[in-house]
Amino acid sequence: MCGIVGYVGGRPDLARALETLRHRGPDDQGLWEGTLGGRPAGLAHARLSILDLSPAGRQPMETEDGSLRIVFNGEIYNFRELRAELAGLGHPFRTQTDTEVILAGYRQWGVGVLPRLRGMFAFALQDGPAGRLLLARDRMGIKPLYFQESPEALCFASEPKGLLAMLPRRPDVDLHSLRDYLTYLYVPWPRSIFQGVSQLPPGHSLVLEAGRARIDRWWRLPTPGRARPRAELVAELRALLTETVRLHLISDVPLGAFLSGGLDSTTLVALAARASARPVKTFCMTFEPGAGLYDEREYARVVAERYGTDHTEIPVRPDLAELLPKAVRHFDEPFGNPTSLLVYLLSQKTREHVTVALAGDGGDETFLGYPRYQGAALSESWRRVPRPLRAFLAERVVPWIPESTRGRHSLRRAREFLSGSLAPADAMYAGWVTYFSEEEQRSLLAGDVIAATSGRQAFWHLDRQLDPAGGRGLVDRCQAIDLGTFLPGNLLAYSDRMSMAHALEVRVPFCDHRVVELLASVPASQKMPRLQTKSLLREAVADLLPPAVRRRRKLGFNPPVGIWLNGPLRPMLEDLLDERRLRAQGWFSPGAVRSLVEEHRQGRRDRTLHLWALLALQVWTNAYRAKA
């Protein structure tokens, strides 16, 4: 795991840009500058040594004849198999790295090497004889890659800070992206919060050749086929998960796993323990008394004892919010999911013991673990209820349904289900997975912002995931949306930034493309029979689960921010959302913001994520303007 940065055209300060990414690769830094296709070009790399710790693994890495050169961030888990195949085709190897395998694979297959790679990656490869630059990002978007193209140059980096360091001036805020942030609590690809700065989408490549850039999609999620014999499918899944976890354990440095005691993390720890000759090091977050709804230490201890892990508990307190400015510096963009702070602290403490950690990210999207998938399935029957009755419930009953600000979400989900039942199915689901609605944004935002973003399509980011979704039922469409948007834009984004802030490599076996493709090819009726979430995963690993884990209900990995906002975080809320501060900023109506605060404080609505998103935005704005 590393940081990459580079350019073609112009002469930016590459050394300065590399320095901004040192946290991603503290073990070594390398820099090359020369020409590509007759234009100035440069590549730089901040290395976190995981495989082949010798100097031979240093990057930028080039072929022996100097014709190909690469900087690479990530891990290729099938590199040994590819290396053997390429060696049989006559390609020599000087290192034990997966980086060199990508170079040889490109020489053999060109861009066709991408579908052969199994892993997480973002890389930039220079083909000197062709005068070509290839940028590529893995299928699921586990590793990030930002770029900016202008008539003078194309610059790229793992994080916006590396890119911004190469630009002649700080870009303006993209107001369309600001509204997208309020919708999703993150800025979705291909945009960023900065005008003119883009994210390369997951499963895409960019080829710059003869002064022109072309972006191509090289991977798509498969569509579901027919149901298969269940015993056969369960056996295939168990074998695939066993193989996937084994591959994810390949490392020349200490390795561990995050453990919450839930189904996903227990599965990974159990399979890792079976494949490892040494006790697995596990790490669990705990919360102070009074936040018992969120605390999972009891279940994690059961799993740790069963599999003999070297277990560490990490306590969390309300002063976790003091980490917000640090987290913002690593995102470089506003990011509204407070779970990111937990991952920041978890990664910080975990890094004191290991360099690599397995995490269960992607389990809910891949195996249908979210309650909203049950809601989508139920809605297909609910829509047969006469519309006047649905309208009565949505318009007359919903306003009287209370909500909890203490982490109990059943009433909120009932509100969302009933109020969304009048909308088309896809719009209903969009309402479930977004936050500030269009109506709320029109009330919240200043008139100038609304005017500057007129004509904006509210759910463009979700809709684009449905282009190839012909033939999918509603639940399968919802899964495709989540795998293409929420997972890379939210969960994998904070997993990367918060872990790399501490030079910790996080690996996510449930995002292995072979696992994702297997489950995507199975119809929802087989993945979620009788509304049972994660049924295939539960059956595949039933013998590995302690009884306490099998019986427990799903609990998300979230801090008790809703409770804290009405308690120890109240001064922070009052300060950052102060009326004078908001008026000076010019984006929001202070009265609308105050209404959100009062609704949450009085327990009328759970506004936890809305308020946290505004807090995170204010912290980002202060940091951004201070550097402008």
Question: Tens of pLDDT along 373-408?
Answer: 998 898 888 877 777 777 777 777 777 677 665 555
Measure the CA–CA gap between 555 and 259, rounded to whole angstroms: 13
pLDDT of residue 626: 54
Task: Look at residue 318 and give its three-state secondary structure.
Answer: helix
The model's pTM: 0.93
pLDDT of residue 309: 96
Task: Look at residue 217 and give its three-state secondary structure.
Answer: strand
Catalytic hit among 2, 155, 284, 511: 2
Among 478, 474, 510, 480, residue whose Cα is nearest residue 492 = 510
Measure the CA–CA gap between 81 and 64, rounded to whole angstroms: 21
Measure the CA–CA gap between 107 and 112, rounded to whole angstroms: 10
Which CATH number fits the domain 230-310+338-367+490-551, given the four candidates 3.40.190.10, 3.40.50.2300, 3.40.50.720, 3.40.50.620? 3.40.50.620
pLDDT of residue 292: 46
Q: Do 565 and 611 contact (CB within 8 A), yes or no?
A: yes
State pLDDT tens for residues 138-187. Answer: 999 999 999 999 989 999 999 999 999 999 888 999 999 999 999 999 99
Q: Do 600 and 606 contact (CB within 8 A), yes or no?
A: yes
Regions of the chain where pLDDT drops below 50: 291-292, 469, 628
Q: How far is CA 166 from CA 37, 308, 340, 367, in A?
A: 20, 49, 27, 41
CATH architecture, domain defined by 2-172+195-217: 4-Layer Sandwich (3.60)
Q: Do 531 and 263 contact (CB within 8 A), yes or no?
A: no
Among 566, 465, 574, residue whose Cα is nearest residue 520 = 465
Is there a catalytic annotation at residue 478?
no
Q: Which positions ≥6 away from 385 have C-beta within 8 Å?
A: none
pLDDT of residue 316: 79
pLDDT of residue 381: 80
Structure tokens that stand for 201 in this block: 């989408």
- The one-character DSSP state at 539 is H
pLDDT of residue 557: 65
30's enclosing H/E stretch is strand 28-36
Q: Do 593 and 444 contact (CB within 8 A), yes or no?
A: yes
Read off φ and ψ for residue 130, nearest 5 degrees: -90, -10
Domain ranges of the chain: 2-172+195-217, 230-310+338-367+490-551
Residues of 465-481 as b/e, b for ≥16 C-beta within 10 angstroms? beeebeebbbbbbbbbb
Mean pLDDT of the residues in the chain: 90
Measure the CA–CA gap between 257 and 334, rounded to whole angstroms: 28
Residue type present at position 304:
A
